[in-house]
Chain A
Amino acid sequence: MRFLLISSFLILISCKSYPLKNGFDQPTKKVQAVVNPYFSNENKDYVYKASIAVYDKSFGGVFIVKKLAPETHRIVFTTEMGNKIFDFSLYNDEFKINFILEELDKKLLINILKKDFKLLVKENIVTSEKSIQANQTLYKTNVANKKVFYKYVESQLISIHRIGGVSNKEKVNIIFSKKEEDTAKNIQILHQNIQLNITLKAIN
């Protein structure tokens, strides 16, 4: 009986919504459009020095994003010497592989990158809930049945969080820092359930 009580208590705790877990107010339901401005300028080439840590391995390269049309981006990763590692096209929910190194042509990895990059560049987001804590606002949306939260400080997007099903635990955090106008000079894509972290530093 005691075990049952403890486990129900644990379930209750773990079911606590993501905003409440993080000290935000009780969410209010409200449909609202928010914007991720960081890859929204078609006239700009977004070029970053990247460092990717996978398990105990780490390698670098150059990460390039270009917006080609509304909701259309091209994402390319090359070595420092210019050799392409992968080259993807994203258009709304469509995803096309233009090139990938044979060694990395693995469905599991491609799926992870696809989800990460869609989240990274998606510009216009329709959200359904909103909660507030001091000067921070958290907006909730759903992407492919997964909860995603956009965190703003005043009107500036500082992070995106993809949350796991029942547990409400963070699976992926994308953190934008050193912001200049509508560019984030530093970006981190941090996975909580697998050892994969991507760090981007703007070089242009």
Chain B
Amino acid sequence: MHNILGVFFLLVSLSYGQTKMQQQEIVILKAKVKEQAKQTQTIASDFIQYKHLDFLTDDIVTSGKLAFKAPDLVKWEYVKPFEYSVIFKNENLYINDEGKKSDVNLSSSKLFKKLNHLIINSVKGDMFNDNEFNIIYYKTGENSDVHFSPKNEKIAKYIKQFQILFNKKGEVQQIKMVEPSNDYTKIVFENRVLNKKISDAVFAH
């Protein structure tokens, strides 16, 4: 019986091409990502976002550019099919919606502050906090796929799981935010450039 179960699980994991990591591998990955995050002063990258809603025929595809500057400046800029950017700066969000500018102060909302903090951290990949998440580590070929499930119930109501795909260097390749309904937002990074000077003007509103 155990053998049958064993074969079944083997087949399941093979079909996903994914196996759980050994403790030793986890230690190495964490060290790599932490070191990578520490060395990262800036990130400039293109991204493609896929919004998956189960009832739709196709995912909604949007794309744009990400700029990150240590310790915590982030600009998400959508270029296609609409122009929209949001800058995370101090406790504010600065939005430019097709030329219409506005800002949102997050200091009154603990939840949104936390969610934004998570988004910033996920860009660097450094979210290995066992107090905040139940973490499961998988490997898929040379890549690592780490699933972070928030322990905070309020956050879990919005995002059931962050799934971050790291390449062998420990860089973030892809972020998937899965909602409780299993609908998700997947962001794939391309042309990622590290530590190239990014002017402060990029983060000006």
What are 15 A-to-B residue pairs whose CB atoms are below 8 Å? A44-B57, A45-B58, A47-B60, A58-B102, A59-B102, A60-B95, A60-B100, A64-B60, A66-B56, A68-B55, A74-B55, A76-B53, A82-B185, A99-B181, A204-B60
- Nearest opposing residue in chain A for B183, CB measure: A84
Q: How many whole Å from A119's CB to the nearest CB in chain B? A: 21
Enumerate chain B residues within 8 angstroms of A76, measured Cβ to Cβ. 53
Enumerate chain B residues within 8 angstroms of A68, measured Cβ to Cβ. 55
- The answer to whether B177 has its CB under 8 Å from any CB of chain A is yes
- The answer to whether B84 has its CB under 8 Å from any CB of chain A is yes
Q: Cβ of B97 and Cβ of A60 under 8 Å apart?
A: yes
Q: Cβ of B181 and Cβ of A98 under 8 Å apart?
A: yes
Q: How many whole Å from B111's CB to the nearest CB in chain A? A: 9
Choose from A62, A66, A99 the contact partner of B55 (Cβ within 8 Å). Answer: A66
Q: A60-B100, A81-B119 are in contact. List 17 more A-B contacts (CB 8 A).
A: A44-B57, A45-B58, A58-B100, A58-B102, A60-B95, A64-B60, A66-B55, A66-B56, A74-B55, A78-B51, A80-B62, A80-B78, A81-B185, A82-B51, A82-B185, A84-B183, A98-B181
Enumerate chain A residues within 8 angstroms of B181, measured Cβ to Cβ. 87, 98-99
Bits for B48-67, please: 1 = Cβ < 8 Å to A, else 0: 01010101111010100000
The residues of B with any CB-CB pair to A shorter than 8 Å are 49, 51, 53, 55-58, 60, 62, 76, 78, 81-82, 84, 86, 95, 97, 100, 102, 119, 158, 177, 179, 181, 183, 185
Choose from A47, A62, A81, A82 the contact partner of B86 (Cβ within 8 Å). Answer: A81
Most buried by A among B51, B76, B158: B51
The residues of A with any CB-CB pair to B shorter than 8 Å are 43-45, 47, 49, 51, 58-60, 62, 64, 66, 68, 74, 76, 78, 80-84, 87, 98-99, 201, 203-204
Q: Cβ of A83 and Cβ of B158 under 8 Å apart?
A: yes
Choose from B53, B95, B102, B177 the contact partner of A64 (Cβ within 8 Å). Answer: B53
Enumerate chain A residues within 8 angstroms of B179, measured Cβ to Cβ. 84
Enumerate chain B residues within 8 angstroms of A78, measured Cβ to Cβ. 51
Enumerate chain A residues within 8 angstroms of B97, measured Cβ to Cβ. 51, 60
CA A136 – CA B58 in complex, angstroms? 37
Enumerate chain B residues within 8 angstroms of A49, measured Cβ to Cβ. 81-82
CA A159 – CA B119 in complex, angstroms? 41
Enumerate chain A residues within 8 angstroms of B76, measured Cβ to Cβ. 81
CA A81 – CA B102 in complex, angstroms? 16
CA A74 – CA B55 in complex, angstroms? 8
CA A38 – CA B85 in complex, angstroms? 30
